[in-house]
Structure formats: C-alpha cells, structure tokens
Copies of this chain bind each other. A is one copy, B any other.
Amino acid sequence: MIQTLQSLIRQPSVSATGEGIEECANLVHNTLQENGIDSKILHMEGHAPLIYGEINKGLPRTVLFYNHYDVQPAEPLDMWEHPPFGGNIHDNKVYGRGATDDKGELVARIEAVRSLAESDGLQYNVKFAIEGEEENGSRGIPSYLKKYGKMLKCDGIVWEFGYVDNNDTPIVGLGMKGMLYVTLKAQGPKRDIHSGMAPIIQNPIWRLVGALSVLATPDGRITIPDWYKHAQPFSQDEIDIINMMPFDEGTIKEELGVSGFVQNVNTESVKQDLTKVATCNIAGIISGYTGDGTKTILPSVATAKLDLRLLPGMVPSVQSRMLQEYLHVRGFGDISISTEHGQQGIRASPSHTFVQAVRKAVDVAYGRHILNVMYPETGPIWQFSNALNAPCVLVGGTHIHSHMHSPNEFARIDLLEKTASTMMHLLNSV
C-alpha cells in the first residue's frame, strides 16, 4: 500500500494547470487493475478522465468510493522540507503533495478491497468513482453523474476523506452544508469623482452598505424573512450528537485570536450554531481608494462577495431568488446580483443502516468514534447522494493537521493502515 502511494505521489497531477492529469489517470487505472479491480477510463469532453473501478460479485448491496487523483499545486516550492512529488518516508509519515488529499485515502481503500477480494471476504459489491478535477471545482461531475448514474448505482457512498482529530479519534461525518455564492454590485457615477459632489451624487458604497445591512445583523445573522423556510429540521438525535461533539473552546479562541463567539455565551450553543446556522458571510468587499494615506473620491462602483452557507433542503437558485426579491422589496432593486455558483447541502441520518455499518466498522478499527452531523464546509456531496439516491458518509484517515493544500503535506502510515482496516471491516460486515 505504501509503495503504491509513493508511486502515485511521484506522478504529479495538478488539475489547476493540467500537469500530469492524463498520466495519473492511466496510473490509477493500472493500479486498480493490478489490485484485481476491473477498471475503465471514462471521458467527457472538456473534463479530466473519471476512473471507474468495480468488483461485482452479484451481492445484494453495493458501496461506492468517491475519490480524486488530482492535487493542489505544490507551490510555494521553497517551503517544502521534502520534495513535493518525492513520496519520501520519515518517522511514520509519507510526504508529498496529495499524500493525504487524496492519494493516501485512495490507496487505503484499494488495499482494503484487494485484501478482502483475495480472501473472498467481500460482503458488498464495490465501485470506485475517481475523478481528476476535485481541486478545480469538480465541474465535470454533474455530466458524469448524468451519463453514468446507472453504472454508479449503490447503497451507500464513502466520501473522499474523513478526519481524525488531535486525539487520534476518527470522526464520522454525515454531511456538508450547501452554498450560494453571489456578488452584489452597486453602481455610482461612471468614473470616480471628487468627493465634494457627495451631497448630490449617490455614493455606491453607501448603497451597498444599505443593502447589506438589511440582509443581516451586525453579528452576521440573516434577517431575510423565510430564509430557513426550506431547511430540513434537525432531529433530536442530531441535536444530541452536536452536544456530544468535543469542542475545545479555549484552543479555538487562542488559535483565532478572538475573545468570544458571536451572540453566544456558552459552549453548547456555539456548537449548535456551528451546525444549524445558515450564514451570510461577506468574503470580500471593495470600493474606492484603498491604498496608503488619504484620497477624497466618490467611487464609481462598490462590490461585495457573499458566500451564503445553506442547510440541507435549501436550494441555491431558490435562495438566490428570495435574496433578490427581498432586496427589491426593501428598496434596493438597483443592486445587481450575480450568482457565481451554488451547491446544495445534505446530511445523512445517523441511524441509517449504511451509516450504522460504517460506525460499527470504525469502532472495530479504532475502538471509538465521534459523529459530526454536518461539516460547515461545502462539497459536491449532495450531487452524488441525490443522483444515486444513497446516503453519503465521510470517513477516512485524514489527520486534521496533515498540511492539506499546504507545503509538507503528509499521510501518517498508522492512519493509512487504520483506514484500510476500517474499510475492510465495513466491506466485510453483514
């Protein structure tokens, strides 16, 4: 397994630049076949190849592994203590770009499937969908799902990764939030003008500030009526799970340099909020003169980038229309809204049969696990779950501080082995 990971790391596959993507697709295809997994390379015009793998023993149930073979760019190169495409081993760690995200996770799964297939222990048919554009927005996935949905049919999906926390406790994630990303723009005079004109010419920053201030409180809580209308309610089970999650308030405050949390006084409500609040985050705002010193202009244009995290049930296009209509009603119909992208959120029930099977497998491998109802992050998880009508679970061996997307990314060998073992227990469970 470790040698396989090293050979995958040594094949660069940077989706942002296209470097080595085709070569890595072939390498993954060969790796599957060498490990006894039927494989084919699927193509979609304008997109990286998707590798499909399968062991179909005609069993009643099927697990699909979603992974990706592309990686983030290795830059900044001078910050690496080990070559980014070297796959060097030091002290229980394999170093290199993609070591943990996502080549390490992939080899652990392949290893589990190979080993079980050889001993005839598979209790599930197994499928792999290994894409090559995850780090670049997974833009081909909707088309691949549309074309190959039938082939990918399954009873449960294991998402590309799962976290292992600071105390080496594995976290089983049940979902991710969705997102609506929009740009708001207010238009003033056709060029920046002398601010002496401010008494009579509309300043677009004031317009934008006005529009933003009707969307949320200064604490960032959304004030658009019915914003949560389509959100699926949380079950008591889920609320209990959130309360059971460890949450090291002191470390987070120190790490982020904040003295308190928004609107909250105690740890319990902070934890509930992290999962249950749909945010309207302003990721960026810019207008006018922003350099050193002072300049007195009335700017021409003001823009803000908003990432609105959605709860499962909330559909980006519907929420975008609500946003637009609300701004209009509040007298800000002049603010233009362009939707950059959207993604639905989803969460699986903690008591779903497949989720239970995963939880049991993790407990056998690690002796314990934590549940996470829904990460506050966003990914194309709803697309798979919805297209294949199957629950999706995030489980794997990604150490929470494994330098993903950063220099000196590594995978811990003991966690790779634990992950392989977890997957074997899952695929072997009856």
A:193-244 near B, CB below 8 Å: 193-203, 205-207, 209-213, 216-220
Q: Which residue of the partner chain B has the closest CB to A179? A: B296
In the assembled complex, the Cα of A346 lies from the Cα of B216 at a distance in Å of: 41
- Are B206 and A209 in contact (CB-based, < 8 A)? no
**A200: chain B residues within 8 A (beta carbon):** 261-262, 264, 270, 273-274
B residues in contact with A264, CB < 8 Å = 200
Nearest B residue (CB) for A218: B210
What is the CA–CA distance of A179 and B297 in the complex, to the nearest angstrom?
13
Q: Mask for A329-346, Cβ within 8 A of B = 1, else 0?
A: 001100000001100000
How many residues belonging to A are interface residues under a CB distance threshold of 8 Å?
Answer: 75
Do B285 and A189 have beta carbons less than 8 Å apart? no
When the two chains form their complex, are residues B196 and A285 in contact, meaning their CB atoms are under 8 A apart?
no
Q: Quick check: B294 and A283 within 8 Å, CB to CB? A: yes
Check: A54 CB closer than 8 A to any chain B CB. no
- A19 beta carbon closer than 8 Å to chain B: no
* In the complex, A307 has a CB within 8 A of chain B: yes
A430 CB within 8 Å of chain B: no
* CB-based contact B284/A196 at 8 Å: no
Q: Is A59 an interface position by the 8 A CB rule?
A: no
Whether the pair A209, B202 counts as a contact (CB closer than 8 A) is no
From B195, B218, B220, B297, A211 is in contact (CB under 8 Å) with: B218
A299 touches B (CB below 8 Å): yes
Q: Measured between C-beta atoms, what is the minimum distance from A8 to chain B in Å?
A: 27
Cα-based distance from A377 to B289 in the complex (angstroms): 18
Residues of B within 8 A of A331 (CB): 218
Query: Which A residues, 117 to 169, have Cβ-Cβ distances below 8 Å to chain B?
Result: none
Q: Give the residues in chain B near A114, CB-CB below 8 Å.
A: none
| A199 and B273 form a contact (CB under 8 A) | yes
- CB atoms of B206 and A256 under 8 A apart: no
Q: A201 to chain B: closest CB distance in Å?
A: 6
Nearest CB of B to A387, in Å:
24
A284 and B279 in contact (CB under 8 A), knowing A210-B217, A213-B213?
A: no
Tell me the minimal C-beta distance from A121 to chain B in angstroms.
38
Choice from B213, B258, B284, B298 contacting A281 with Cβ under 8 Å: B298
| A195 to B, closest residue via Cβ | B281
A287 within 8 Å of B by Cβ? yes
Whether B376 pairs with A190 at a CB distance below 8 angstroms is: no
Cα distance, A276 to B331, chains bound together (Å): 26
User: How does the 8 Å CB contact mask read for A280-303 relative to B, with 1 for contact and 0 for none?
Assistant: 011111111110011111110011
Residue pair B296, A290 in contact (C-beta under 8 Å): no
Chain B residue contacts of A207, Cβ below 8 A: 218
Q: Is the CB of A289 within 8 A of B305?
A: yes
Give the CA-CA distance A36 to B189 in the complex, in Å. 49
Q: Is there a chain B Cβ closer than 8 Å to A58's Cβ?
A: no
CA distance A205 to B205 in the complex (A): 13
Tell me the minimal C-beta distance from A200 to chain B in angstroms.
Answer: 5
Contacts of A290 in B (CB 8 A): 284-286, 303, 305
* Interface: A425 (CB within 8 A): no
Residue of A190, A197, A298, A377 with highest tally of chain B CB at under 10 A: A197
CB distance from A191 to the nearest CB of B (A): 8
Q: Is A257 located at the chain interface by the 8 A CB criterion?
A: yes
Contact of A295 among B189, B261, B284, B303 (CB under 8 A): B284
Residues of B within 8 A of A309 (CB): 195-196, 198
Provide a sorted-by-A list of 14 A–B residue pairs whose CB atoms are within 8 angstroms. Answer: A181-B296, A195-B281, A195-B309, A196-B377, A199-B277, A200-B274, A201-B258, A202-B220, A206-B212, A206-B216, A209-B213, A281-B296, A284-B297, A284-B299
Task: Give me 16 other A-B pairs in contact (C-beta within 8 A), A200-B273, A206-B217 excluded.
Answer: A188-B258, A195-B281, A195-B283, A198-B279, A199-B273, A199-B275, A201-B256, A201-B262, A205-B285, A210-B217, A282-B287, A283-B289, A283-B298, A284-B290, A285-B288, A290-B305
